[in-house]
């Protein structure tokens, strides 16, 4: 009798949670429209980057150009020495920054999630206050440039973005709701130190939050150009995003750092100004767009973690 009742309850629950076919089709249509809205600008930018300057001048931006041309990408290929050097800087900063940021953020979040930590309240306020009040760009510049002396070093692109209060709160919430105190206490009874507990017990069962924080940091470092504009004056240390941003805004930057041996006027005459701007956008977007699908589930998990109060 109890089995029949259980099956009936399960059947009723499935009926309540089931989506009607019409509603399912509506959801699919909405997601198709949203996907189109997201992909259409990328396709449009790609088509403009493959348009000839004559076609753009005569017909403007078109979804399907009258005349295709690879001159924009050829121009960027002529500047490949400078672009590849900046690409190496961006990759190095992204890898090192993500590794350092994940280590600092997760360890701080784990410490703040433990009820036994005596200074938990004090440090929670220290982490929380910067989410509300910001010292401002001037204070940040003075600390990084004058006090720490990181100007024109690779660390000026890494350390200012390594730790975020928002990411720490995400880690704290995850560890508080996922890592029971009983596991930690059992490990202490067996003689494990806090570092051993974190490395051998916490890390293996916390891969989603590690991947989420790594993804957030990767996006932050890869898309950042502002740190380079503030702290970097050496062209050999400029990041790819800052380099391409300068190329988009200022031709004189290219003339001051020539790799093809041309004068400023020759650059102006040879540069396909409109299409090359779109080609630059594609160069920036393509690497991170290829990586994102592999981490999408962790990104969604991170948003869900951030929505849980704890």
For residue 241, the domain's CATH number is: 1.10.3720.10
Task: Please give the pLDDT value at position 309.
Answer: 45
Say if residue 97 is in the same domain as residue 31: no
Q: Going residue by residue through the chain, which has 310 residues, state the pLDDT in tens, using 9 for 90 and above.
A: 455 455 555 555 555 556 777 888 888 899 899 989 988 888 888 888 888 877 777 777 778 888 888 888 887 788 778 888 888 898 899 999 999 999 999 999 998 888 888 888 888 888 888 888 877 788 888 888 888 888 889 999 999 999 988 899 988 888 888 888 888 888 888 888 888 888 888 888 888 888 888 888 988 898 888 888 888 888 888 888 888 777 766 655 555 555 545 555 555 555 556 777 788 778 888 877 777 776 666 666 655 554 444 4
pTM across the whole model = 0.74
In a domain, 62, yes or no: no
Q: Are 281 and 273 in contact (CB under 8 A)?
A: no
Residue pair 210/98 in contact (Cβ under 8 Å)? The answer is: no
Task: Provide the greatest CA pair distance for the chain.
Answer: 90
Does a structural domain hold residue 56? Answer: no
| Residues 43, 180 share a domain | no
Residue 145 sits in the same domain as residue 272: yes
Report whether 212 contacts 66 (CB < 8 A): no
What is the per-residue pLDDT for 30? 93
SS3 68: strand
Q: Tell me how many domains the chain contains.
A: 2
| Residue 18 sits in the same domain as residue 166 | no
Structural domain containing residue 152 = 71-306
- Regarding whether 41 and 132 lie in a shared domain, the answer is no
38 and 78 together in one domain: no
Domain membership of residue 63 (yes or no) is no
């Amino acid at each position: 009798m109890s089995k029949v009742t259980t099956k009936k309850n399960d059947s009723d629950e499935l009926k309540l949670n089931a989506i009607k076919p019409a509603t399912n089709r509506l959801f699919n249509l909405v997601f198709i429209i949203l996907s189109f809205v997201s992909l259409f600008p990328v396709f449009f930018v790609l088509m403009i980057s493959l348009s000839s300057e004559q076609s753009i001048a005569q017909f403007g931006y078109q979804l399907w150009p009258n005349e295709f041309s690879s001159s924009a990408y050829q121009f960027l290929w002529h500047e490949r020495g400078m672009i590849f050097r900046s690409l190496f800087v961006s990759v190095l900063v992204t890898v090192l920054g993500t590794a350092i940021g994940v280590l600092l953020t997760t360890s701080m979040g784990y410490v703040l999630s433990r009820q036994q930590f005596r200074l938990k309240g004090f440090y929670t306020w220290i982490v929380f206050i910067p989410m509300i009040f910001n010292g401002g760009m001037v204070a940040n510049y003075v600390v990084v440039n004058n006090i720490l002396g990181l100007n024109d070093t690779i660390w000026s692109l890494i350390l200012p973005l390594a730790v975020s209060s928002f990411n720490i709160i995400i880690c704290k919430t995850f560890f508080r709701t996922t890592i029971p105190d009983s596991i930690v206490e059992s490990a202490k009874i067996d003689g494990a130190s806090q570092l051993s507990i974190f490395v051998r017990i916490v890390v293996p069962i916390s891969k989603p939050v590690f991947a989420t924080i790594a993804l957030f940091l990767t996006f932050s470092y890869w898309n950042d150009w502002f740190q380079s504009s503030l702290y970097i004056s050496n062209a050999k240390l400029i990041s790819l995003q800052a380099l391409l941003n300068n190329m988009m805004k200022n031709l004189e930057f290219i003339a001051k750092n020539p790799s093809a041996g041309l004068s400023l006027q020759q650059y102006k005459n040879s540069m396909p100004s409109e299409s090359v701007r779109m080609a630059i956008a594609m160069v920036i977007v393509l690497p991170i767009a290829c990586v994102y699908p592999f981490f999408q589930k962790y990104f969604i998990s991170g948003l869900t973690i951030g929505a849980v109060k704890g």
